[in-house]
């Protein structure tokens, strides 16, 4: 007669009872990314999600939200940064999600291109409503959650926050404002342990040119009577796919560094070639020279070099 098999099972249960109880794993820290539907925002979402973060990826269009929702470690949230009620709803979703909010990447943006003297005020308002007020609204709304966890904020800037170009006035103005937004917010939040950065990309593959051209046409810019008709017609004829530029992998890595490094940089200049780096640094240096030129307390060359050396040592 075969003996019953309850003894080995009982021994197993006894062994399990003697083992120390395993504590549940803490939830993944979360990062919210605005404007995650394509380009820099989508690539940043993918890199963050693959690097241990749970990502709340936001977009406006249902098809983009559906695609984002299929990514691992990603929850898609509908969000238009010009609508406060949608921002508030996103805050409620994140608060209820169970993942401590470690960071916010304010990436949502548009580009308006037009001669400043022919620009419609409504288009300038739209440019600032998305790129500046939208970023400010988002940072302000999520600040309580970030303060709880001494988190991070990173804005998407641009070379155009330093380098200005003809017909890019609305976009350049908005990105110059993002520079100030970054610096002031960093000063105000440093006492609370919240760190603020801006990532400043050069030319990478994205859909920005397509949207820019669509707004140029919709605004009626460059038509009959325009002082800049020939130049703007050439801009309208340029290809919009930006296939000649690399994918924004390095930009996404910069956002990852801003979220993960113990001491994130205030500014991350990310460009695909030496020419764009030189263009940007030269523009910054030229502004210093212009500020110093023929003013009552102007520095001579040696004094300017000394200031530069001091700044380099400080960093």
Please give the positions annotated as active site: 171, 175
Distance CA 268, CA 173 (A): 19
Out of 77-91, 163-177, 191-205, 236-250, pick the least confident. Answer: 236-250
Question: How many Cβ atoms sit within 10 Å of the Cβ of residue 32?
Answer: 30
Distance CA 53, CA 29 (A): 6
Strand ranges inside 19-147, DSSP E: 30-33, 54-59, 74-78, 101-106
Structure tokens at 148: 């709880």
The per-residue pLDDT for range 227-276, each reduced to its tens digit, is 999 998 888 888 777 778 899 999 999 999 999 999 999 999 999 999 99
Tell me the CATH architecture of domain 25-272.
3-Layer(aba) Sandwich (3.40)
CB contact at 8 A, 118 and 226: yes
pTM of the model: 0.90
The per-residue pLDDT for range 13-46, each reduced to its tens digit, is 555 556 665 677 788 999 999 999 999 999 999 9
Distance CA 305, CA 281 (A): 15
Question: Residue 65 belongs to what H/E stretch?
Answer: helix 62-69
Provide, rounded to the nearest whole percent, the portion of the chain with pLDDT above 70: 92
Mean pLDDT, rounded, of the chain: 92
From residue 65, how far is each of 109, 206, 248 by CA, in Å? Answer: 17, 18, 20
Quote the pLDDT of residue 7: 47
Tell me, what DSSP letter sits at residue 30?
A: E
Q: What is the arithmetic mean of pLDDT over 80-93?
A: 98
Residue spans of the domains in the chain: they are 25-272, 274-315
The per-residue pLDDT for range 117-170, each reduced to its tens digit, is 999 999 999 999 999 999 999 999 999 999 999 999 999 999 999 999 999 999
Tell me, what DSSP letter sits at residue 306?
A: H
Distance CA 267, CA 129 (A): 23
Structure tokens at 32: 């919210």
């Amino acid at each position: 007669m075969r003996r019953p098999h309850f003894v080995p099972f009982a021994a197993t249960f006894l062994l399990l009872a003697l083992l120390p109880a395993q504590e549940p794993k803490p939830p993944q820290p979360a990062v919210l990314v605005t404007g995650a539907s394509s380009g820099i925002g989508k690539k940043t979402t993918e890199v963050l999600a693959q690097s241990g973060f749970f990502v709340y990826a936001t977009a406006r269009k249902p098809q983009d939200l559906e695609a984002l929702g299929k990514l691992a470690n990603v929850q898609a949230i509908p969000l238009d940064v010009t609508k406060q009620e949608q921002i508030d709803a996103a805050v409620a979703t994140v608060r209820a999600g169970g993942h401590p909010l470690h960071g916010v990447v304010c990436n949502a943006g548009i580009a308006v291109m037009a001669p400043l003297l022919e620009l419609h005020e409504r288009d300038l308002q739209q440019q600032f409503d998305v790129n500046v007020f939208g970023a400010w609204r988002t940072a302000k709304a999520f600040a309580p959650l970030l303060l709880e966890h001494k988190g991070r904020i990173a804005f998407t800037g641009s070379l155009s926050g330093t380098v200005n170009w003809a017909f890019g006035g609305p976009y350049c103005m908005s990105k110059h404002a993002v520079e100030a937004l970054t610096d002031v917010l960093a000063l105000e939040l440093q006492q609370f342990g919240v760190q603020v950065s801006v990532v400043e990309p050069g030319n990478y593959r994205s859909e920005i040119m397509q949207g820019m051209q669509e707004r140029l046409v919709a605004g009626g810019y460059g038509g009959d009577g325009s002082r800049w008709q020939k130049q703007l017609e050439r801009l309208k004829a340029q290809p919009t796919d930006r296939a000649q530029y690399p994918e924004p992998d390095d930009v996404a890595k910069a956002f990852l560094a801003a979220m993960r490094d113990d001491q994130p940089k205030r500014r991350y200049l990310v460009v695909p070639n030496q020419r764009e780096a030189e263009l940007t640094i030269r523009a910054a240096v030229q502004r210093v020279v212009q500020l110093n030129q023929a003013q009552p307390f102007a520095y001579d060359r040696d004094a300017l070099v000394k200031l530069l050396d001091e700044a380099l040592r400080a960093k």
